[in-house]
Chains A and B, each alone.
Chain A
């Protein structure tokens, strides 16, 4: 972001950078930076809260009044991510002949479809579409149970992309199943990796792929680094 601030400014366009990491803007010194200690992935702080978002914008745009720079300001409110798993019901076991994660993904489909109908768009589809999610989980279940990752038929041959699609399918579906205010940053992630059969299967496959000697990027980016 700070690189683009310098580039755009050189083209004659004034910039305000919403900064997620303070030490980076301190070192790179974009002309105007507002460091917001909000959950990563939520640079405007609060989804669904127009008033809060306007307050962030007002603070950011006020920095355009500075006559010289670089200027770094710190947004006065801190919002921390909460890694307590979202409280979200999971479908009951329906077909015991299937691996638990595959059965579960089938059971999440109606919630996913409601999410898609309401939002009109989905971020699932990098290498598998919603129909392909249960099959992708079958492959990871196979790998967790001893199949070789190179021969298991990972869609697109890309673990990161498949894992993005599975996780996004679950997170978009989960948002249809919870009431109340929007969940905190990372609580949906914690629910997916800690509470769902899919998340557990992905993590088990990740361990298996690592133990099979796969290159670091193949297994590491299947989940957030701290997991």
Chain B
């Protein structure tokens, strides 16, 4: 079986947390909105502390940082794409271009990176580190987040 087919099959069988009351934030018009990226690729700056297996914390990535390396622990996805072009996981240059064109209002000063391979209940991210990251981005004036997995 091909690798992606196998991993999507694993995803089909994974238990997922339930969210009884789904929140819904109505965004500002895109042309006025500040946009951040939140990725689960465990990206971090090359000189900063890496992610540990099962790491439930996050790293904040300054918008001008391009020295980002892959800290994810899973061997089950392509890594050559991000070695060729960071934007295939973390489309920061594309956001800069959209801001320059006026399509989005602004690029956020900071973005957030989590590790995707989490304990099944994702409890810490749900009640602790996730809300902390959201509060920090909110304080930065972020209106819209684009979530990118690997």
Contacts and interface: CB of A to CB of B under 8 A. Distances in A.
Contacts of B24: 9, 31, 68-69
A172 B102 CA distance: 35
B150 A13 contact: no
Nearest to A119: B83
Contacts of B150: 20, 40-41, 43
Contacts of A72: none
B137 A28 contact: no
A8 B145 CA distance: 8
Interface in A160-174: 160, 163-164, 167-168, 171-172, 174
B79 A4 contact: no
A182 interface: yes
A183 B93 CA distance: 21
B44 to A, nearest CB: 10
Given A12-B138, A64-B30, A221-B73, A53 B25 contact: no
Interface stretch (A102-110, A184-192, A207-215): A184-192
Contacts of A69: 22, 24
Interface in B98-150: 98, 103-104, 114, 116, 122, 125-126, 130-131, 133-135, 137-138, 142-150
A7 B125 contact: yes
A6 B6 CA distance: 27
A121 B69 contact: yes
Contact of A83 (B3, B77, B147, B149): B3
A199 to B, nearest CB: 12
A122 B16 CA distance: 34
A15 B142 CA distance: 11
B88 A189 contact: no
A14 B12 contact: no
Interface string A99-137: 000000000000000010001111101100000000000
A18 B149 contact: yes
Interface string B62-99: 00001111110111111111111101110101110110
Given A4-B130, A54-B97, A171 B7 contact: no
Nearest to B17: A3
Interface residues of A, number: 84
A28 B32 CA distance: 29
A89 to B, nearest CB: 16
Interface string A1-35: 11111111111111111111111100111110000
Contacts of B10: 225
Nearest to B137: A13
Contacts of A19: 149
A198 interface: no
A53 B90 CA distance: 11
A218 interface: no
Nearest to B142: A13
A80 B4 contact: yes
B126 A3 contact: yes
Contacts of B91: 44, 53, 57
Contacts of B93: 50
Nearest to A27: B16
A1 B7 contact: no
Nearest to B1: A226
Given A18-B149, A182-B80, 7 more contacts: A50-B97, A53-B88, A80-B4, A189-B78, A226-B2, A226-B3, A227-B3
6 contacts: A13-B145, A16-B146, A19-B149, A48-B88, A125-B69, A225-B76
